[in-house]
């Protein structure tokens, strides 16, 4: 086994649950077609809400997904995590459940921005509106934001590091980055990293409405008609491995993680800082040992809020310099919506598929560019192009920034 000083980290599996498909094939087909999963919400009461649209996972039935009993008793967010983790495990070809010797060398770092808030909201409704004397006995277990990774660890015998990361909209990217670093440092040999989110509910929407950052019309990143983001749900999880570990067991290697950067703005809870976002991109490029011109595609955070899209564009220009205008940048949130903590995991799957098929996905719903939004945002129609290195940006409320760079599988 390689030492921590020379360890390279590769991806051998991926799983995704989203408003435009469950599983990489359905999801990627929708991405290539420019399909939009944002529509009128159906899983919660919208009658007295100003915002009535969301990126819901369609016709979701956990029993039909073949989840084990422990997941059937869990919150929706844990169920999404279970499905995405299973996809990643199956694609990796890893023998599960793990033996005790292998289990201690594995990790399940699966975060969530808010955990089981759907369970919490329904419990409050039962207590305060329906005047019930008690909630379901598993309410606490279903609600906590570490229940998702705990369920996954039980399912697969993962006895090494297991916990949930919370960093708002950067959660999944931070989680993947932590597994990446653990493998590099020799703490583990492989692990699942990503996030899951199922926060679509009446109360959650009311809270977001109060911040006036949601659009009643759709999610239109970098466009002059953008007027806010659209909440969504789902999960994105990757199986990461030490390169030599993957080779020894004959795994199919999908890509290599070349670099990871994370910073904090330390400035404002809502308004992003160009120093923080640009700094995370620069850090990832430095670790990857790549000049900006070698990045073939940037999957932008691209939330379609007025401030974020301008700040991200400015950050890309600062970091990429003269090559910024030649680098395709798109926000696939325009299709699957903003899945909050899970966003970076879902978008990591986009990045891996873009490399696999040499296809740059579009930013749909794009009309005229917004003020200061003057890059190549791949408007409305994806395109074929050689894609060897990709950057994935996640920038969260509180100024919490995380960036990943993926490259081709080692030769």
DSSP run (H or E) holding 281: helix 274-288
Of 214, 196, 197, give the one whose Cα is nearest residue 205: 214
The catalytic residue positions are 169, 301, 338
Contact 236, 347 (CB under 8 A): yes
For residue 191 the two structure tokens come to 């692990």
Topology classification of domain 9-248? Peroxisomal Thiolase; Chain A, domain 1 (3.40.47)
Burial of residue 287 (number of CB atoms within 10 Å: 0-12, 13-18, 19+): middle
What is the largest distance, in Å, between two alpha-carbon atoms of the chain?
64
Through-space distance between the first and last CA atoms of the chain, rounded to whole angstroms: 18
Q: Do domains 9-248 and 260-407 have the same CATH topology?
A: yes
Phi, psi of 359 (to 5 degrees): -140, 130
Question: What is the residue-level pLDDT of the chain in tens, covering all 411 positions?
Answer: 444 457 999 999 999 999 999 999 999 999 999 999 999 999 999 999 999 999 999 999 999 999 999 999 999 999 999 999 999 999 999 999 999 999 999 999 999 999 999 999 999 899 998 999 989 999 999 999 999 999 999 999 999 999 999 999 999 999 999 999 999 999 999 999 999 999 999 999 999 999 999 999 999 999 999 999 999 999 999 999 999 999 999 999 999 999 999 999 999 999 999 999 999 999 999 999 999 999 999 999 999 999 999 999 999 999 999 999 999 999 999 999 999 999 999 999 999 999 999 999 999 999 999 999 999 999 999 999 999 999 999 999 999 999 999 999 998
DSSP 300-321: ------HHHHHHHHHHHHHHHG
Q: Is the pTM of this model over 0.95?
A: yes
Sequence spans of domains, the chain: 9-248, 260-407
- CATH of 260-407 among 2.40.50.180, 3.40.630.40, 3.40.50.2300, 3.40.47.10: 3.40.47.10
């Amino acid at each position: 086994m390689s030492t921590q000083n020379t360890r390279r980290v590769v991806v051998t599996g991926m799983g995704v649950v989203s408003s435009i498909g469950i599983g990489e094939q359905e999801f990627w087909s929708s991405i290539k077609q420019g399909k939009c999963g944002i529509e009128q919400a159906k899983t919660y009461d919208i009658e007295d809400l100003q915002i009535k649209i969301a990126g819901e996972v369609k016709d979701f039935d956990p029993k039909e997904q073949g989840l084990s009993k422990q997941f059937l008793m869990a919150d929706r967010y844990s169920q999404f995590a279970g499905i995405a983790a299973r996809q990643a495990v199956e694609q990796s070809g890893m023998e599960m459940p793990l033996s005790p010797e292998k289990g201690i060398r594995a990790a399940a770092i699966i975060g969530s921005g808010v955990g089981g808030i759907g369970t919490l909201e329904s419990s409050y409704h039962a207590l305060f509106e329906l005047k019930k004397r008690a909630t379901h006995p598993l309410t606490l277990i279903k609600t906590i934001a570490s229940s998702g990774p705990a369920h996954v660890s039980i399912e697969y015998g993962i006895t090494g590091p297991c916990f949930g990361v919370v960093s708002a909209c950067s959660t999944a990217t931070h989680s993947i980055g932590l597994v990446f670093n653990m493998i590099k440092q020799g703490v583990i040999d492989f692990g699942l990293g990503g996030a899951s989110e199922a926060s679509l509910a009446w109360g959650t929407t009311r809270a977001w409405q109060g911040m006036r950052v949601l659009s009643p019309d759709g999610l239109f990143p970098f466009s002059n008609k953008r007027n806010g983001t659209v909440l969504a749900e789902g999960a994105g999880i990757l199986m990461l491995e030490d390169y030599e570990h993957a080779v020894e067991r004959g795994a199919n290697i999908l890509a290599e993680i070349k670099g990871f950067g994370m910073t904090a703005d330390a400035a404002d809870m809502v308004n992003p800082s160009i120093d923080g976002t640009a700094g995370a991109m620069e850090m990832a490029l430095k670790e990857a040992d790549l000049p900006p011109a070698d990045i073939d595609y940037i999957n932008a955070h691209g939330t379609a809020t007025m401030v974020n899209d301008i700040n991200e564009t400015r950050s890309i220009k600062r970091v990429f310099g003269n090559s910024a205008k030649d680098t395709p940048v798109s926000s696939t949130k325009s299709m699957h919506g903003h899945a909050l903590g899970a966003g970076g995991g879902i978008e990591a799957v986009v990045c891996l598929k873009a490399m696999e098929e040499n296809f740059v996905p579009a930013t749909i719903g794009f009309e005229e560019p917004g003020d200061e939004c003057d890059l190549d945002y791949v408007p409305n129609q994806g395109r074929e192009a050689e894609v060897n290195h990709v950057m994935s940006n996640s920038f969260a409320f509180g100024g919490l920034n995380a960036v990943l760079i993926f490259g081709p599988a080692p030769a």
